[in-house]
Amino acid sequence: MAIEYGCPLELLLNSRSRINDIQRHIEQLDKEFALVIIVEHSDEFIILLRRILKWSTKEINYIRKMQILTKLTKKSILARKIELDIDSYLNLICFAVLVFTTTAPVIYIAFRTFEKLEIPIRLDVLQQEVRHIAFLKVHKAASTTIQNMLLRFGTERNLTYVIPSVNSIYPNVISLLETVTSNNIRPIPLLSTHFDILCLHVLYNRTAFGQILPNDTVYIGTLRDPFEYFISMMLYFPIMFERFNISGPRAITDFLEIKRNTMCL
């Protein structure tokens, strides 16, 4: 994840002696990103995305509609509470699809009723939606979920995406080794004056991103608990298991218990 956020490899290899430099890099990222999504707090990031991007509730809640989230039934106390609260505040919030059970609607309503700064009418039309977005796509950190939302949003509005050059091996990857350059992306289409959305795999560099995206672009990233991220990456790229002939339900534990393996992490 650090590499994707533009942290130089030299700093990571000498992290103990360069801790101050790493801290400065993190502080700079904090200034440049409007939101960094934490995967483990998915309900909260729905709310924050809605506020930062100023999108309609429908656009944000599509994330949840297509996921099998609930272990609760419609007869549960929480499900009935959600239905009751939404019915009570239809003038404040409009959910396009109510086929899921999650705490997000309750949390969202609590935020909306607490915040009195907007006129209590449909939120969809109160603010101009953000259409210039740079999303740092990080492997195994819910990035495809967010990417799908951005692709659907932009396609419906005929927006222009940054896409890889014809030489790219994978359609969703600009580069895993460098930031955007004139060599690894296709030029701006003739009928467009600029790119609107970047949401493919590429290393972050604010200067390079700023050269191809408008000045009012909103920058969003995503992170995941490091150990959960490690497990997900190991299962997604099982080459290390195959290399050390490890298998079975204890594969992760066995891998970590081998000292020569952990020295490479």
Lookup result for tokens 């920058």: 219
* pLDDT in the model for residue 162: 94
Angle at 145 between CA 139 and CA 149, to 5 degrees: 130
For residues 164 and 185, the answer to whether their CB atoms sit within 8 Å is yes
pLDDT at position 219 is 95
Taking the domains of the chain in order of start, what are their residue ranges? 1-41+129-224, 56-127, 227-262
pLDDT computed for residue 51 by the predictor = 77
The identity of residue 70, as a single letter, is T
* H or E, element range at 159: none
Please report the pLDDT score of residue 90 as a whole number.
36
Identify the segments of the chain with pLDDT beneath 70: 42-43, 57-58, 60-127, 259-265
Which DSSP symbol is given to 204? -
In this prediction, residue 161 carries a pLDDT of 93
